[in-house]
Every structure is written in structure tokens, then in C-alpha cells.
Amino acid sequence: MARLPEEPVPQPVLSPVTSAAIFLVVTVDPGGEPGVRKLLSDLAGLQRAFGFRATSGMLSCVAGIGSQVWGRLFAGPRPAELHTFRELVGARHRAVSTPGDLLLHIRAERLDLCFGLAAEIMERLQGAVTVRDEVHGFMYFDMRDLLGFVDGTENPVGRAASAAVLVGDEDPQFAGGSYVIVQKYLHDLQAWNALPVEAQEMVVGRSKLSDIELDDEVKPADSHVALTTVVDPDGTKHEILRDNMPFGSVGQGEFGTYFIGYARTPAVTETMLERMFLGEPPASHDRILDFSTAVTGSLFYVPTADFLDNPPDPPGTGAYSEAHTATVSDARARPSDVSLRIGDMKASTADEQSAP
């Protein structure tokens, strides 16, 4: 009896929300590629070693790989929609694009587990990478951000989450993977807290206490909820999986939200961001941006666990040359026949679209 092909095993993208997280974005130094390949293949074992010490801690780690480093690490084809995060410049606000070759998203119920795994990872990557951003996130009360609103209410669950997040037959060589966009937002809490609660609710599009979405007749067109809800003319709703975390430094007066959005295609997140920063008539931009500034922005492909365990050969040793992968690289970034064609919206200048 013929054996059925095994389903690809995703990285723990769909793990439950935890109370702590560390986000590391690094770039790979010239000559650091072998060390990075070794770390990626060892990552699952490191996670098990640290997680076994406290199984109730729910330790997990997801690794994402950026467009500019892909051809330096692997020979052969690349994910169809992997490209660098594209800057968005609106009339009043800007979504910046910042360097990022690797994303390490470490989650647990205890910060010490996140810290221990992060420290071991960086020890192994010493001399191979440069850290571009490091954020330690925490759960704030009942899943609220530092603006005081519940974050992640509309996350899909179960089969809907898998369908929204995991690549399918549209890119069979990379099925089971995912795309992730990250942005670090800093909040002007002094200006925000000067607003009455009712005005804050008009900015967000939800009731602050109950977390119930405002009625369409009341909800402003430039509210955060209105602009980040992506629905086709036929009623099809496009979703992403957010695992956002608050972060901050009280002494330095820094308060923020680390946005991280996983999706089957980056086009969904990009459309959300385009609407936020470039507007969607009659809204000129998302009003939440008047109080929250994006200071980073990067896009990554999250390979399957199987891919990391048994990666392709390094460039120059496989059937494809490094020159070929470089040529294919950003030329394949979001081709028109792959993008979602969400409604009548043009997914033009953006590269991500998600909400803080």
C-alpha cells in the first residue's frame, strides 16, 4: 500500500498567546551564513532543551528569514511572495522599512524562559549577526495594549487560523510556511490620555471597557477597526494572526506596541497597512497613527520546521546558482498574478498592512 505524502510541519506560529515574548531582528554579517544555517537547524533542539525544564512555561520560538539573505543561505527556489518591506509614505504618516535578515519570535509564560533561550541563540550567533532591534514584551492586564484597549480580538482560531496563516497549494514547495510582518510602534501616551474615553473609542472603533466593536453607523471611517478590516465585495473577509505585545521603559518614557502579523500571503497585511498610512476615501489615514509612530518595519518568510531540520544546500552547491536566486529574488516579490486582488484596492506602494 502506497504511503501518503506527509504534511509539512509548521513552526509554532499557531501557538497560544503567552504572557511574555522577546523579539529579535538581526542582519547577517558577511561570512556569517554558515553559523546562521547551523543555528536554524539546531533551533528546535534548543527550544526543547530549554522548554523541558519548565513544561508548563509553553516556550516556543519562530524563526523568519528575510528576502535579502535568502539567496545567501539557500540554493534553489525561494518563496513566491518573499520581498523586502516597502516603505509607505502618506500625507501625514510614514511606515518605515528597516533592515532585517532574521526574526526570532520567542514566546513563553515566563520571561526567564524567553531570556534563557534568546541568550543561548545569540551566543551561538556571536560574530555572525548584528542585532538591529530587541524588544521584551509582556501581557498587560486582560490582553490590553498600553493605550488601554484589548488587542487581537479578531484573531482567527482553529481551522480558520490555519487557513489564514499557512501557505497552501499556491506555492507547493513552501506549503506550510507563513509570512510575517513586524513593526515597532511608539505611543504618545500624554496626548492619548488627554483624550476623553469617548474620543479614544472613536479613534479605535471599539468600546474601551467591553471591547465591543462600534456600530457601523457610529464608527468613523478613519477609525483603526474600519481601516484594518479587509473585506472583498463578495463579503469574503481576509484575516491575519496578530501576536502583538506591549513593551516599554518607564524611566525613559518609552511606551509602545510591537506589532507582529502572520499571514498566508503578505498582501493581506500590506493592504491593511496601505489603508492605515495612505488612507481609503473618505479617510486620509488611520487616526491611531496620530498617537502611534512606526519606527521599524520588516517582512520575513517563516519556513516549516521540516525545512529548518533539512534545509537546501548552501548557494553554489545545489542545482541553482546564487546568481539565479538573486535574479529571481525581488522580481518575484508580490507579482500581480499572486496578489490577492482584495476588492478594488490596489496593493501598490505598501509592504505590510496591519494594525498596531
- Residue 183 sits at φ, ψ, to 5 deg, of -145, 140
Do the Cβ atoms of 205 and 223 come closer than 8 Å? yes
User: From CA 166, how far away is CA 176, in angstroms rounded?
Assistant: 5
Active site residue: 101, 133, 145, 151, which one? 151
| Annotated catalytic residue 232 | no
Please, where are the H alpha helices in the chain? 33-51, 67-73, 111-124, 158-165, 189-193, 197-204, 224-228, 266-278, 305-309, 322-328
Residue 344: other Cβ atoms inside 10 A: 7
Report whether 36 contacts 125 (CB < 8 A). Answer: yes
- Dump strand ranges (E) for the chain: 20-28, 60-65, 88-89, 94-95, 102-108, 129-138, 178-187, 230-231, 237-238, 241-242, 245-249, 254-263, 292-294, 298-302
Three cell numbers at 167? 501557505
Please list the active-site residues: 151
